[in-house]
Amino acid sequence: MVEIISVRFKEGGKHYYFNPNGARFQPGEGVIVETTRGTEFGECVQGNTPIDEMELTAPLRPVLRRATPEDELTREKNKEKEAKALEICQQKILEHGLEMKLVDAEWSFEGNKVLFFFTAEGRVDFRALVKDLASAIHARIELRQIGVRDEAKMLGGLGICGRPFCCSQFLDEFQPVSIKMAKTQNLSLNPTKISGTCGRLMCCLKYEQEAYEDLVKTSPKPESFVETPDGAGTVSSVNLLRQTVQVRLDSAPESPKCYHNCELCVIRNGKGKRPEGYVEPPLEELAKLRKPQEPEETPDLKGSASPLAAALEAVFNGETPQYEGVGGQAQEAPRSRDRRRSRRSRGGRSHGEGEGREAAQSRESAPAKEKKPPRADKPREGRERPAGEAKPPREGGEKRSSRPHRRRRPRGGGGGKPQSGGES
């Protein structure tokens, strides 16, 4: 067993193992390590951990020391130099007319070397560019061509899912992705839907590929000839995640039916001819393939410790719920409400009946009025009366109101229907 610590040099970059030389380091601490490019400033992302020597692919390089505040200051100054070096390099590229896209620049911790990353469609002759950069920056110059996936990892951004790029967040290395993965997962083969911002197939297609490969082994292929509980038929579509298939039965090919994989008996897997001499078994035997339905578990509300569950069960059964732990007042509250409601209804009825009797007595004591003659027999006095003659007053000197008389009904829910005032 060998003790190591894990160090990274960029945010979201690859992790490298180093020998701590007996010192203890915590995640988040800055360390100065020795690399193939010289002395570099890194961040510890995994503390002291023992691992097997077989896991190491190269000899361990040592950790020189912990980072000091002076090292942090040097790192910040190098970042400022990187921004200036990018501007200078971009101007020189335009002056030479080179077809290359500058992506990023890295200034070494020691300050004696600058590394530029760029992308291009083909090979670029940048020997003259290197000479001009060396005379302008006064440091060793190195230009490295990278691919579009590395460019997306360095620049970062948001994917079509709305989250930051996986490669810039947690992917240490790029895994190979092929169009066969999209076909296995039944995804749309439209390049705009399965390609990332870099223009290559999305890295997330690799995440679930192993699970889909395991599901494919237990599922029939499309156009397979199978036996179902309802008869023989041909598989029209397969749902790998739900482990179900759509089958066109020979007896009813117009309406496919859905079956679980455990309900099928595969006679021919994939396209091909029907086996010679095949005889479909009787339906009684095929019905044995049907998946038994599991009984639904009903929650035991009586044994539940929740008083709310017990109250709901009592209400559903038509019983009066018992409120435990509240006291006698909670049980007597519904009874007192019922008593108050019954008193109100009785009082309203008696009040209404009293008003109804008083109205009937007043109508009986009043003198009976003569019935009005029908309108058809009444002469129209307005046309026969000469002009200038005043309209004769009504009997009793009363003036008839233009507004219609509105009968007021007695208040109270129990009052009976009042009798008409014109009849005795």
Which sequence spans correspond to the domains of the chain? 2-67, 74-146, 169-214, 218-289
At 224 the pLDDT is: 92
Nearest-angstrom CA–CA distance, 162 and 150: 20
Alpha carbon separation from 131 to 37, 122, 167 (Å, rounded):
21, 21, 34
Reported as a single tens digit per residue, the pLDDT across 384-394 is: 454 444 454 45
Reported as a single tens digit per residue, the pLDDT across 172-215 is: 788 899 999 999 998 888 888 899 988 899 999 999 999 999 99
pLDDT at 421 over 50: no
At 213 the pLDDT is: 92
Q: Please name the residue that has the structure tokens 């396209």.
A: 271
At 124 the pLDDT is: 87
Nearest-angstrom CA–CA distance, 238 and 220: 8
Reported as a single tens digit per residue, the pLDDT across 309-318 is: 777 777 777 7
What is the topology classification, in CATH, of domain 74-146? GMP Synthetase; Chain A, domain 3 (3.30.300)
At 323 the pLDDT is: 55
Q: How confident is the model at residue 335 (pLDDT cuts 50, 70, 90)?
A: low
Reported as a single tens digit per residue, the pLDDT across 72-93 is: 899 889 888 888 999 999 999 9
Nearest-angstrom CA–CA distance, 8 and 13: 6
Reported as a single tens digit per residue, the pLDDT across 246-287 is: 999 988 888 899 999 988 989 998 888 888 888 888 888 888
Nearest-angstrom CA–CA distance, 3 and 22: 8
Strand-pair partners of 237 = 246
At 47 the pLDDT is: 83
At 365 the pLDDT is: 47
pLDDT at 139 over 90: no
Q: Is the dihedral of CA 135, 137, 142, 144 positive or negative?
A: negative
Helix (H) or strand (E) holding 248: strand 244-249
Closest CA relative to residue 58, chosen from 19, 102, 25: 19
Nearest-angstrom CA–CA distance, 294 and 276: 38
At 343 the pLDDT is: 60
Domains 74-146 and 218-289 share a fold: no
Question: Across the chain, what does the average pLDDT equal?
Answer: 77
pLDDT at 369 over 50: no
Q: Where are the beta strands (DSSP E) in 93-139?
A: 101-107, 113-119
**Exposure letters 318-340 (e unless 16+ CB within 10 A, then b):** eeebebeeeeeeeeeeeeeeeee
Alpha carbon separation from 414 to 344, 349, 355, 356, 408 (Å, rounded):
11, 4, 10, 9, 15
Considering the domain 218-289 in this protein, what is its CATH number? 2.30.30.30
* The model's pTM: 0.56
pLDDT at 357 over 70: no
